Amino acid sequence: MTKVEDEAAQPINRASAIDRHVGARIRERRIMLGLSQQQMADMIGVTYQQAHKYERGINRISAGRLFEISQVLSVPIGYFYEGIEAEKTGDLTARQRMCLELARNFSQIGNERYQDAISQLARALAMES
């Protein structure tokens, strides 16, 4: 049985690898914007627990809800499916976790001058590589 056939054979209420991928992309974008799970849940009109289940791929997301999430996170719906064909199984790599943490910390800096200085420093360091 192929992976596609295997996922099609799953009960309707069980989330698939695609649901987990979409949830991970939601989490990644939410963190990049500096939003907590509770803030996002409030913005899309669900409980914190439901938002957590969406991000973990435990519960499937309806088309209408995914549209709401895309609006709140300011991305097109296709954003959530990017990279799905190249997805590897397993958790985030250490580098991916570090990038998410960096984005979260950067978004929490309240002073725009500090953000600009850090951005310029990152650009300068990247050009040296």
Q: Give the integer Cα–Cα distance in Å for 27 and 50.
A: 13
Q: Give the integer Cα–Cα distance in Å for 92 and 63.
A: 26
pTM, 2 dp: 0.62
**pLDDT reported for residue 126:** 84
**pLDDT reported for residue 27:** 94
Least confident of 6-10, 48-52, 125-129: 6-10
Mean pLDDT over each residue of the chain, to the nearest integer: 84
Q: pLDDT digit string (tens) for 6-26?
A: 444 444 555 688 999 999 999
Q: Give the integer Cα–Cα distance in Å for 27 and 100.
A: 10
Q: pLDDT digit string (tens) for 54-91?
A: 999 999 999 999 999 999 999 999 999 988 876 554 56
Q: Give the integer Cα–Cα distance in Å for 66 and 63.
A: 5
Per-residue pLDDT, averaged over 104-123, amounts to: 88
Question: Span 1-90: which CATH code?
Answer: 1.10.260.40
**pLDDT reported for residue 17:** 87
Q: Where in the chain is the domain with CATH 1.10.260.40?
A: 1-90
pLDDT reading at 4 higher than 60: no
Closest CA to 20 of 81, 99, 93, 94: 81
